[in-house]
Amino acid sequence: MEKEHQAELPKAFLEKMERLLKEEYQDFLKSYEETPKQGLRINPLKKLSNSQILRLKERFRLESIPWAEGGYYFDAQTRPGKSPFHEAGVYYIQEPSAMAVVELLKPVGGERILDLCAAPGGKTTQIAGKMGQKGLLVSNEIHPLRAKILSQNVERMGIANGVVTNESSQRLLKSFPEFFDGIVVDAPCSGEGMFRKEEAAREQWSLNQVSVCAARQKEILDNAAGMLKTGGRLVYSTCTFSPEENEGTIQTFLDSHPEFVLERTQSIPGFSCLGQGRPEWVADGKSQLSQTVRIWPHRTRGEGHFLALLRKEEGSIKEKRKKAFQAPRLLPEVLKVWEEFAASVCHPFFQEEFHNASGRFLMFGEELYVCPNQMIDMKGLKVLRPGLDLGTFKKKRFEPSHSLALYLKQNQVKQWVSLPEEGEAVFRYLKGEALDLSGIAGNAKCQISENGWVLVLVEDASLGFAKLTGTVLKNHYPKGLRRS
């Protein structure tokens, strides 16, 4: 942001920050003259080799982010968002400070995790990478359009154990009392930490908005508390500087929820460079609030962020065992069509992956999904994505989905074609054009023996499906995602 843009910062905001930061205020103000740092996270679900990761580091001039496993600053001039690797879900572009949230939560495979305010999907995709397709990840977003974007990012990153819902926290609480091992509440906030990056955040800000956000955050946290199991952990985060929405919200929550305690965070690898919360900013501030985390743009290479890690020491109610999900039995002819497709396209060890999933297959309209193995009955909830979308039944034939393509690996399919990242062919594919094998043979690697479905990759990362007839690959890249 240029110096003259400092004048665009709300006057009431500047006065507040000068009052709070005192001797640090001038350094804080100077940070608005600097270009914001940009980051990306490499997607572990794509299982890149060390040599492939090294190539990405060279390609985008990556530099490790201390507090984020697999997180890197990138050189903006390399434009990773324009690369086909982005469409293939090889990485997720995310603000560096925001990557600290999931590192605090430390999710592992087999757990039940909730990302309560999940759009556009940065934290959800980071959680999924750490879970390794094992367990249940519920990602919720209350706003329908943002929930759709969330679902698209879940698809792009090849996530199979994720369920996307479009609900309020109150309605989720009724379905998931004391159910989750871990919850992320990246709360809607006044967005002060994004002023350097987003003009809209500056224009929409007001002192009244800060108060409104603090009240909303309290309600969301109260509902989240009821969905967490005894011994479970909850990470609360915002991208604002306001004490009312940060230390104040956490203190209010602790006062009304004695079953929760604040956990220490400074011992976490990479977190030593981050600041602590400021208990003196809360009336009758408690020293325990210094265990929270503040990320400052004048101290760290990231935008403004606040984080707190809470643990539930005892439950207010006993966990109510939810009814296990049991999908309606598929018609034999439907199951037969799917099995015939899987046998023709995939190697036997991939087919075995779904061999015991018959009780988790779900027809969602014309779409066939396989639901996570810890799925419960979600009747009554707005579910956008109940698991991995396998494909569509059309007149007794099966057409694989884009989600399945992005989930699959090269060694799981019988036929594939791998296109170079910077070659003409991959960009033609992303535009929806058909490809002639004879025209790309010199640059592409492939394993093709007969007509039928072919997995298209950008180098070793799956990108979508095509269907071979003769020497022509008919394009099945989704029309809504095609480049102009």
Pairing of strands 136-140, 71-73: unpaired
The DSSP H or E segment spanning 155 is helix 144-156
> Tokens 């008919």 appear where?
474
Q: What is the DSSP letter of 382?
A: -
What 3-state DSSP class applies to 21? Answer: helix
Distance CA 82, CA 205 (A): 32
d(CA 118, CA 126): 11
Tell me which residue of 427, 390, 426 sits closest to 407, measured CA to CA. Answer: 390
Distance CA 237, CA 143 (A): 19
Residue 301's nearest CA partner among 72, 53, 59, 8 is 72
Kindly give, in sequence order, each residue whose CB lies less than 8 Å from that of residue 88, ignoring residues fewer than 6 positions away.
Answer: 46, 406, 457, 458, 461, 462, 463
Cα–Cα dist 420/432, whole Å: 17
Tell me which DSSP letter residue 301 carries.
S
From the CA atom positions of the chain, what is the Rg in Å? 24
Task: Round to whole Å and give the CA distance between 83 and 342.
Answer: 30
With H, G, I as helix, E, B as strand and everything else as coil, classify residue 113.
Answer: strand
Positions annotated as catalytic residues are 239
Distant-in-sequence, close-in-space partners of 125: CB < 8 Å, separation ≥ 6: 41, 43, 92, 153, 154, 157, 159
Cα–Cα distance, 348 to 350 (Å, whole number): 5
**DSSP H stretches of helix in 205-246:** 207-227
The per-residue DSSP string of 414-472 comes to S-EEEE-TTSHHHHHHHTT--EEHHHHTTT-EEE--SSEEEEEEETTEEEEEEEEETTE
Residues paired with 305 in a beta bridge: 295
